[in-house]
Amino acid sequence: MLTRRTTLAAFAALAFAAPVFAQDPDEIRMGYIADYFGTSIAAIATDQGLWEKHGLDADLKVFTNGPIQVQALNAGSLDFAYIGPGALWLPASGQAKVIAPNALGYTDRVIAQPGIDSIEDLEGKTVGVPEGTSGDMLLRLALAEAGMSLDDIDVVTMDPSTVVTAFSSGQIDAAGIWYPFVDVARQRVPDLNELSSNEEFFPEIAFPSSFIVSDDMAGNEDVIRKVIAVIKEANDFRVENPEQSVSITAEFLNVPEAPLLAESQLARLPTSAEYEELSRGGQVANWFGTLADLYAQFGKIENPLPASEFYLGDLYAE
């Protein structure tokens, strides 16, 4: 005759013997840009199985720049994205939320044809730039430092690959562009001049690239936490394994390692713990706020949001 105790024991044994079904992963759509800092986090996360580890199923989509990704976010065809500092005006104007810093880059350059030796020499010249990017930001900063503005040059808006083609063929005199495109242009115009670098403005102005989330997804803090966890772990892998990270990213993009290796050395890469501390101390928000204010000064946006309203620093710092 079964007693109550033996019945409970038998039930418990059956419960432990029953199969445990894992929770279905959360599906996300995430954009990236096909250069080292725009791809390496996604590539490392894929190679190291970090999406699965943190309960995510990531559909990764490649884009040529940040503003196009923000358009995709707003159209509902993307959930998360990577942007460079030049596209930060979009979250600062309320079109997305920043969830994590990526790298403090100084890959951007203002390059010019041989014989053009200074920013002042650009007066009246034709300058190609991908609008709303970090190349655009650097060009504006460099002109302002020289007491000039976009009104003093002939600006031609074009995508990054077209910038390289136009510069190489002599159709434009200069460009606001970044590595690895600078290297590609140099292969075709070996004696081009680098007139300005965003490293020249550090630390007064930092140029953080970042990851953003759509407004539709911004309320889903559980999924955002999972994505942040992936970003943090991939970031620390990248800090600790720089050469392997380049190899992983090159294989992911199916491109040679050399250009990515050169680009990988053009940034400061804090660890995730350092980023957490910098977020708690307000420095990361200050970086974003300074860039937003610059875009307001340049007339790109009006009345930018405070960084505390578009950077989810509390979630990152958890």
pLDDT digits (tens, 9 = 90+) for 206-244: 899 999 999 999 999 999 999 999 999 999 999 999 999
Residue 54 has pLDDT above 70, yes or no: yes
pLDDT at 46: 98
CA end-to-end distance (rounded Å), the chain? 54
How confident is the model over 26-55, as a mean pLDDT? 97
What's the confidence (pLDDT) of residue 132? 79
Cis-peptide, bond into residue 259, ω within 30° of zero: no
pLDDT tops 90 at residue 68: yes
CA distances from 11 to 19, 22, 118, 130 (A): 14, 22, 81, 66
Place of tokens 């600078």: 182
Structure tokens, 135: 């190349």
Strand order in the sheet with 193-197: 154-157, 126-129, 174-178, 108-112, 193-197
> Is 299's pLDDT higher than 90?
no
Residues 289-311: b if buried by 16+ CB within 10 A, e if exposed? bebbebbbebebbeebbebeebb
Chain mean pLDDT for the chain: 92
Report, in angstroms and rounded to the nearest whole number, the Rg of the chain calculated over CA atoms: 23
Q: If you average pLDDT over residues 82-109, what whole number do you get?
A: 94
295-301's contacts with Cβ under 8 Å and 24+ in sequence apart are 295/88, 295/89, 295/92, 295/137, 298/140, 298/144, 300/89, 300/132, 301/89, 301/92, 301/93
Q: How far is CA 171 from the centre of its chain?
A: 29
Tell me 311's DSSP state.
B
CA atoms of 210 and 70, how far apart (whole Å): 13
- Measure the CA–CA gap between 47 and 237, rounded to whole angstroms: 11
Is the predicted pLDDT of residue 295 greater than 70, yes or no? yes
Please write the tens of the pLDDT for every residue from 130-152. 987 889 989 999 999 999 999 99
* pTM, to two decimals: 0.80
What's the pLDDT score for residue 22? 56
DSSP 22: P
Sheet holding 56-63, edge to edge: 56-63, 26-33, 80-83, 208-213, 97-105, 267-268
Does the pLDDT of residue 14 top 80, yes or no? no
